[in-house]
C-alpha cells in the first residue's frame, strides 16, 4: 500500500520509497494525490498518533498505579489501623451523658467519617465490633449501606440515560461485581446505548427527513462495501500468511504470530491493523500491492474515521477502567490526565498518620473527656483545623 498508484493501471515513479511498514501513500513525480488519498494519509497519521498517545497514557497510569500500590497504599493502611483505634476510643462517649446534644451529633459524624474512610481503604469492615459500631452510628448494617449506595447510584444513572431516551438494563449492577464483571457490564451498556440510539444517534421513533433517509441508504451501501472489502482483504492475507504452507521453521513461527494478529484485527474490524499486516508481508514477499482506487479508499476512509472516533473515546475513558479505580482521585476529571505530586502525596499521608497517632495519644490520656470536648468544639466552630478535617474519604 505504500507504493499504490493513483488510478488503476498507472505505474508512477516514486521520488522516495515509503518505509516498508508505512501506510502513507507516496506522491508520484508528475501526479498529485487525490482528495481520497490525502484523507487516507491524514487518517492513518491520526490513528498512529492516537495509538501512541494511548500507549503513553497507559504507561503513565500504570506508573501511577504502581506508585500508589508501593508507596501510598501502605501508608493508607497504617492510617486505617489508627482510625480503627480512634473509633474504638471515641465510641463509648456516644452512649453517655457527658456530652451535649450538639457534641454528640458531631461525634457521630466524626466516627462515621472514620468508618467510611476505613471501608474505602480496606473495602469492608471485617472486625465484628466495628460492624456493630457502624450499625449504631449509621442505623443500618454495612451491607445494607453499600446496597443503598449502589441503588442510589444506579437510579441516578438510569435517570440520566432515560433523559437521553436510552433504556439499559441495570438490575444486575451490584456492589459484589468483580473489576472484570464491571468492565464487561460497562462494555455491554455502551453497546446497548449505541444500538438504542441507532446509526444517527436519535434513539426515538420520529419520522426521518429525506436527507436522513438518503444518508442512511448511503451508510448501508458503504457498510456493505466495507464488509466486502474487509472480508476480501482478510482472505487475501490469510492465504498469504497461512503457516501450514510454509516449510521454513522460522518463517512458519513468524506467520503463526502474524495469523494471530490478523485474526484479532479482523474480529475487531481494525482496518488499520489489517493494512499494516498487508504492507509488511507484501513487502517481504516482494509481490505487487493491490490497487487502491478512490472508490475503495472512500470505504477505507470511513472505517478509519470510525477508528479515530473509537480511539479518542478510548483515550477519554481509559482512566475510568476498573483497574485504575484506586487512583481515580489522582486523575483530572476534565482532561483525564494523571495529576500526581508524588512527594506531596507521600508527605500528606505521613502528616495524616502523625495526626492520627497524636489523636490516639490524646484519647488515651487522663483528661480524655476534656480533650474530646475541645476537639469537637473546634470542629463545630471551625476555629482551627482539627485532626478529623481532612480525613481521606
> By the 8 A CB rule, do 130 and 112 touch?
no
For the chain of 393 residues, list the mean pLDDT of each consecutive stretch of 10: 36 40 56 82 87 92 93 95 95 88 91 93 92 94 87 75 64 63 63 55 54 59 55 75 79 86 85 73 48 66 78 85 84 79 93 93 90 85 52 38
Rounded Cα–Cα distance for residues 61 and 378 (Å): 39
Q: Give, in order, the Cα–Cα distances in Å from 246 to each of 180, 255, 274, 326.
A: 39, 8, 21, 48
Distance of CA 45 to the CA centre of its chain: 23
Distance of CA 133 to the CA centre of its chain: 36
Residue where the block lists cell 419520522 = 207
Q: According to the model, what pLDDT value does residue 186 have?
A: 64
Q: According to the model, what pLDDT value does residue 357 have?
A: 94
| Contacts of 280 by beta carbon, 8 Å cutoff, 6+ apart | 20, 21, 258
For residue 300, how many other CB atoms are within 10 A of its CB?
A: 26
Alpha helices by DSSP H, listed for the chain, are 35-67, 73-90, 101-122, 128-138, 142-163, 179-197, 210-241, 249-267, 271-285, 294-317, 342-363, 368-381
Q: According to the model, what pLDDT value does residue 14 have?
A: 35
Rounded Cα–Cα distance for residues 160 and 222 (Å): 33
Grid coordinates given for 209 = 427527513
Amino acid at each position: 500500500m505504500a507504493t499504490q498508484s493513483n488510478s488503476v493501471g498507472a505505474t508512477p515513479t516514486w521520488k522516495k520509497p515509503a518505509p516498508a511498514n508505512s501506510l502513507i501513500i507516496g506522491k508520484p513525480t508528475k501526479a498529485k494525490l487525490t482528495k481520497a488519498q490525502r484523507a487516507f494519509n491524514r487518517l492513518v497519521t491520526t490513528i498512529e498518533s492516537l495509538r501512541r498517545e494511548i500507549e503513553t497514557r497507559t504507561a503513565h497510569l500504570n506508573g501511577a498505579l504502581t506508585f500508589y500500590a508501593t508507596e501510598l497504599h501502605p501508608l493508607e493502611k497504617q492510617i486505617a489501623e489508627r482510625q480503627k483505634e480512634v473509633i474504638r476510643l471515641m465510641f463509648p462517649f456516644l452512649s453517655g451523658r457527658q456530652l451535649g446534644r450538639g457534641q454528640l451529633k458531631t461525634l457521630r459524624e466524626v466516627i462515621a467519617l472514620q468508618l467510611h474512610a476505613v471501608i474505602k481503604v480496606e473495602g469492608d469492615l471485617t472486625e465484628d465490633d466495628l460492624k456493630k459500631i457502624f450499625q449504631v452510628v449509621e442505623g443500618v448494617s454495612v451491607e445494607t449501606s453499600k446496597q443503598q449506595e449502589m441503588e442510589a447510584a444506579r437510579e441516578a444513572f438510569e435517570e440520566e440515560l432515560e433523559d437521553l431516551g436510552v433504556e439499559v438494563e441495570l438490575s444486575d449492577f451490584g456492589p459484589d461485581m468483580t473489576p472484570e464483571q464491571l468492565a464487561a457490564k460497562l462494555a455491554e451498556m455502551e453497546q446497548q446505548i449505541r444500538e438504542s440510539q441507532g446509526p444517527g444517534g436519535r434513539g426515538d421513533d420520529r419520522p426521518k427527513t429525506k436527507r436522513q433517509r438518503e444518508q442512511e441508504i448511503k451508510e448501508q451501501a458503504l457498510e456493505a462495501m466495507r464488509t466486502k472489502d474487509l472480508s476480501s482483504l482478510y482472505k487475501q492475507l490469510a492465504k498469504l500468511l497461512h503457516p501450514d504452507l510454509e516449510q521454513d521453521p522460522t518463517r512458519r513461527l513468524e506467520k503463526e504470530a502474524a495469523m494471530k494478529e490478523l485474526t484479532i484485527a479482523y474480529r475487531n474490524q481494525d482496518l488499520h491493523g489489517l493494512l499494516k499486516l498487508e504492507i509488511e508481508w507484501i513487502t517481504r514477499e516482494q509481490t505487487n500491492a493491490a490497487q487502491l482506487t478512490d472508490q475503495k479508499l472512500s470505504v477505507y476512509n470511513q472505517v478509519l474515521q470510525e477508528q479515530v472516533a473509537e480511539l479518542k473515546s478510548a483515550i477519554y475513558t481509559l482512566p475510568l477502567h476498573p483497574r485504575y479505580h484506586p487512583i481515580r482521585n489522582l486523575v483530572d476529571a476534565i482532561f483525564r490526565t494523571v495529576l500526581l505530586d508524588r512527594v506531596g502525596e507521600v508527605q500528606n499521608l505521613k502528616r495524616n498518620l502523625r495526626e492520627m497517632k497524636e489523636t490516639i495519644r490524646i484519647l488515651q490520656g487522663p483528661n480524655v473527656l476534656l480533650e474530646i470536648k475541645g476537639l469537637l468544639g473546634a470542629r463545630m466552630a471551625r476555629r482551627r483545623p482539627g485532626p478529623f478535617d481532612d480525613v481521606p474519604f
